[in-house]
Structure 1
Amino acid sequence: MAQAAQINPDILAWARETAGLSLEEAAGKLGLTSTAKATAAEKLAQVERGERPVTLAQLEKAAAAYRRPLVIFYLSSPPTRAERGEDYRTVTGSRPRDDAMLDALIRDVRTRQQLLREVLLDDEDIQPLSFVASCQMTDGAQYVANKIRDTLGVNPTEQRRARDASALFTLLRKAAERVGIYVLLLGDLGSHHSDIGEDVFRGVALADEIAPFVVINDNDATTARSFSLLHELAHIWIGASGVSGPVKGFSRNAVERFCNEVAGAFLLPAEAINLLSEAQGADFELALSLTDDVARRWNVSQGVVAYRLLLNGWIDEAIAARLFEAFAARWRIQKARERQLRGPDDSGPSYYVVRRARLGERLLDTVRRALQGDVLTHTKAARILGVSATSVEKLLKERPRAA
């Protein structure tokens, strides 16, 4: 008979909930099966209440499924919630499951950042990035936007010449990675079953002078990603780590509002604002038409344009609210249509193509060089990349392509 592990069952419940898994999902991952007396989920519930013992083998499976080190299950009580940094979101009524999955995602990214940071610090030539926390909110949004532009080396003409919103995001992402920022596209915990919607979070910034990380939710619309990226870069420039939510108007949080203004100032410079001058006092229909026109010209979302109109005082908050709701409704319809059109055999790009695009060139190149220099093991490389150790070599074999 398998030996029972002596643990506080509250730890198991806490680990499952903070991993964002239901009883049914977790029971399957732990290898529990249903019988005539109890379902697999009921058995797990009994374990979490201390009514049924848990074996060491099941505990090891729980450590893997819940993304926790095995030793944490032997604590006397559950630890406090993983630090997100500052929570700048204005999400109301979010489900506990959504917050649990978000915490699990941020905890995972922080661990990967720390492992990468240790690798970089082993390089004698590594220098702290001077732009991290180099600005303050008192400098003003336009000043910070200009500083970001100077560092990235992307001018308004290049923004306009981008083929579309996806090409603009690629341009900005490559520029950010070129100066030392790791930009990841993550919106789940490893599979589509753990998707975290854009209504839960838009982006995360982890400011660090050695390995700054920016995470963009890839469940969001492609047209919104450039704004999310610039918003999170503003967080990096003022040294404010945290998680950000969707733009639905003026944020009540001063930092979030400031970073929105920085992103808007970068993506819609003075020459773009001139096109919006006729929007002053516009009604909903005219504002909708103008935002569409400018968004197409500058390869951004209509939400970015609407926010800039609101910021300039050219539309009131009531019209802005209607615009943001219209954009959100259209995105929900588009996502639903895409799911319907995606047939059972439509698997899309291969796993490795998608994974490379999500991780970004800089992270892949850094890990590749560290492995070649024998300063990183395949086990740690797998942890940094978020894949199995057997997938590392194939993942690094080719340079990333857009998925």
Structure 2
Amino acid sequence: MNVAGLNPEILIWARETAGLDREAAARKIDLKPSRGVSGEERLAAMEAGNVIPTAPLLRRMAAQYHRPLLTFYLPGVPAPAELGQDFRTLPDRGDPSNVLLATLLRDVKARQALVRETLEDDEDAMDVELVGAAAGTRDSAALASIIVETLGFDRVEYRSHARGEDAFGYIRSLVEARGVFVLLAGDCGHWSTAIEARIFRGFAISDKLAPFIVVNDQDAKAAWSFTLLHEVAHLLLGETGVSGGAPNGRIEQLCNDAAAAALVDQAEIINLGQLLRGGGDDATLIDVLANRARISRSMVAYQLFRAGIIGEGRWEELRDAFRGQWLAQREREREKNRAKEGGPNWYVVRRHRLGSAILSVARQGMADGSLTPTRAARMLGVKPMNVYPLLAEPRRATA
């Protein structure tokens, strides 16, 4: 069946923004040669408006170009989405993962807009005071103090949690209690679209009514807390944008230093520096502080560099070594999990990634009728059939 009403310009735009040339696109959408015409040439004919793609082919285009099917019926190429500032410093902005990141950011912005619309209909909803509360602040120590005071963050309580994931949960609960939605997201809905932490670590939407923070859960769990506080710093400054890579920009450096100051005392870094000898034992000593402070080893190494205790070359050497060890450990864990039967409950994992704040808005909206299952599904990033089981309150174990 052929599909009428398509705009050929949209076909070209969708392919190009997916980072694909015609040859690669034809391969990905499984457009095979026919009657002596190559797949690439067939695609060119469709983009010229001379051939209309079939409905199955259009669905494959939507999947591979990471666009909703309805996009292809728009009257013209849409204006670029306003995604805030790009605070990242990357060696290759043409990396295919950046296309996936753009897709993820569009999805997050659309879901945030649904949350905002729902809150606008709630007469009890109020602006979040945290957003923009530290606008104009350019001193990292002052910004760190504002973070701690605004959240009610207790470093001793934070460090009392045995696992980095639990320590992150403690900070997340404080942030969500201030009206911020905190999501874990590092792919576009499937493991094959995972976006590595080198592409982005976090994203903040500085909206007074529905501020959002996204933490890339493809990163080490020990790094989640730092990323979350880093994005909180962006919200306090009233800055929307995506973060990652080396923190060379002024705002990124400010947010990095403030988040680090909240999590670890400068005296701890200096005391550690006095023990370092530049050899293999340094990594072990860094491990000790990282485990005690519930932060990543790379962050400890970076703070040593920022304090002038180690040089940039030594920091990069340690950073790369720690990343290599973490990647190897992650692969071992994945192999171990593959050998196991079953796995964690899908709904439990999904609730954890979404966070209690957005689940609460969806539950309330479904209860008072302001949200249909379809809109709730879009807000939560799931299928409509999954909405009711997802929003069901998990049962607590009884003695």
Please state how far the C-alpha of 1:126 moved relative to its aligned partner. 1.4
Give the direction of change, closer, same or farther, for the CA distance of 1:42–1:227 in structure 2 (3 Å limit).
farther
SS of the aligned residue for 1:343 comes to helix
Please state how far the C-alpha of 1:54 moved relative to its aligned partner. 2.2
Structure-2 separation of matches of 1:347 and 1:79: 43
2:144 pairs with 1:145: yes
2:256 pairs with 1:260: yes
Do 1:371 and 1:377's aligned partners in 2 also have CA atoms closer than 8 Å?
yes
Q: Which residue matches 1:75?
A: 75
Do 2:138 and 2:254's aligned partners in 1 also have CA atoms closer than 8 Å?
no
Do 2:6 and 2:72's aligned partners in 1 also have CA atoms closer than 8 Å?
no
Give the direction of change, closer, same or farther, for the CA distance of 1:101–1:164 in structure 2 (3 Å limit).
same
What is the aligned-residue RMSD (CA, Å)? 2.9
Structure-2 separation of matches of 1:39 and 1:355: 42
Do 1:20 and 1:104's aligned partners in 2 also have CA atoms closer than 8 Å?
no
Structure-2 separation of matches of 1:301 and 1:218: 14
**2:320 partner amino acid:** E
| 1:340-359 per-position Cα deviation (integer Å, ceiling 9, x unaligned) | 33326644212212111110
Correspondent of 2:315 among 313, 320, 323: 320
Please state how far the C-alpha of 1:8 moved relative to its aligned partner. 3.4
2:188 pairs with 1:193: no
| 1:266-297 per-position Cα deviation (integer Å, ceiling 9, x unaligned) | 110356346425157x4253542332111011
Structure-2 separation of matches of 1:356 and 1:80: 33
**2:75 partner amino acid:** L
1:32-51 pair list within 5 angstroms: 44=43, 46-51=45-50
Structure-1 separation of matches of 2:82 and 2:395: 31
**1:260 partner amino acid:** N
Structure-2 separation of matches of 1:105 and 1:283: 41
Do 2:81 and 2:106's aligned partners in 1 also have CA atoms closer than 8 Å?
yes
Please state how far the C-alpha of 1:204 moved relative to its aligned partner. 0.7
1:2-401 pair list within 5 angstroms: 2-18=1-17, 23=25, 27=29, 44=43, 46-55=45-54, 59=58, 66-68=66-68, 70=70, 73-76=73-76, 78-136=77-135, 138-246=137-245, 248=246, 251-270=247-266, 272-273=268-269, 275-279=271-275, 282-343=277-338, 346-399=341-394
Do 1:307 and 1:320's aligned partners in 2 also have CA atoms closer than 8 Å?
yes
Question: What are the ranges of 5 or more consecutive residues in structure 2 without an aligned counterpart?
Answer: none
Please state how far the C-alpha of 1:197 moved relative to its aligned partner. 1.0
Do 1:370 and 1:376's aligned partners in 2 also have CA atoms closer than 8 Å?
yes
**2:159 partner amino acid:** R
Do 2:29 and 2:57's aligned partners in 1 also have CA atoms closer than 8 Å?
no
Aligned residues between the structures? 392
Pick which of 270-279 and 102-111 moved more: 270-279
Please state how far the C-alpha of 1:91 moved relative to its aligned partner. 1.2
**2:74 partner amino acid:** Y
Give the direction of change, closer, same or farther, for the CA distance of 1:347–1:256 in structure 2 (3 Å limit).
farther
Do 1:88 and 1:245's aligned partners in 2 also have CA atoms closer than 8 Å?
yes
Please state how far the C-alpha of 1:122 moved relative to its aligned partner. 1.1
Please state how far the C-alpha of 1:132 moved relative to its aligned partner. 0.5
Structure-2 separation of matches of 1:49 and 1:400: 56
**1:205 partner amino acid:** A
Do 2:206 and 2:239's aligned partners in 1 also have CA atoms closer than 8 Å?
yes
